[in-house]
């Protein structure tokens, strides 16, 4: 059947990592890289986007047991909080800061 062929085609494209560590690292990379770093470093990010990103990163940090990934998440959260504070300083309000 056509559907069966398509499914097996899809299955071949998906590379299954060998170890648990690979899996969580791969997951981490995907979720961070889906916005390219450039768009994040520009001040184009809104407060809401930053808050969402912080929450996403914190959630990821709480679901992984990989120390390396947790460390990266922690750094990322701190960077985002600084960004949020910088944005917030402009309008003088710190309400709604996550964490």
Whether 61 maps to a domain, the answer reads yes
Mean residue pLDDT across the chain:
71
pLDDT interval class at 26 (50, 70, 90): very low
Q: How many domains, the chain?
A: 1
Cα 39 to Cα 3, 32, 45, 62, 88, distances in angstroms: 38, 12, 8, 26, 19
A 10 A CB-CB count for 73 gives 23
Whether 13 maps to a domain, the answer reads no
Whether 45 maps to a domain, the answer reads yes
pLDDT interval class at 60 (50, 70, 90): very high
Whether 65 maps to a domain, the answer reads yes
pLDDT interval class at 47 (50, 70, 90): confident
Whether 30 maps to a domain, the answer reads yes
Query: If you average pLDDT over residues 2-18, what whole number do you get?
Result: 58
Round to whole Å and give the CA distance between 64 and 54.
16
| Domain span including residue 25 | 19-91
Whether 1 maps to a domain, the answer reads no
Whether 78 maps to a domain, the answer reads yes
What pLDDT is recorded for position 67?
Answer: 94
pLDDT interval class at 89 (50, 70, 90): confident
Listed in sequence order, the residues at least 6 apart from 80 whose beta carbon sits closer than 8 Å to its beta carbon are 50, 53, 54, 57
């Amino acid at each position: 059947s056509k559907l069966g062929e398509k499914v097996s085609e899809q299955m071949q494209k998906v590379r299954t990592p060998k170890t648990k560590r690979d899996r969580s690292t791969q997951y981490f990379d995907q979720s961070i890289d889906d916005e390219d770093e450039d768009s994040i470093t520009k001040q184009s990010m809104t407060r809401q986007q930053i808050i969402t990103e912080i929450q996403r990163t914190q959630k990821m940090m709480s679901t992984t047991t990989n120390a390396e990934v947790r460390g990266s998440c922690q750094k990322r959260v701190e960077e985002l909080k600084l960004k949020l504070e910088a944005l917030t300083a402009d309008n003088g309000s710190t309400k709604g800061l996550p964490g």
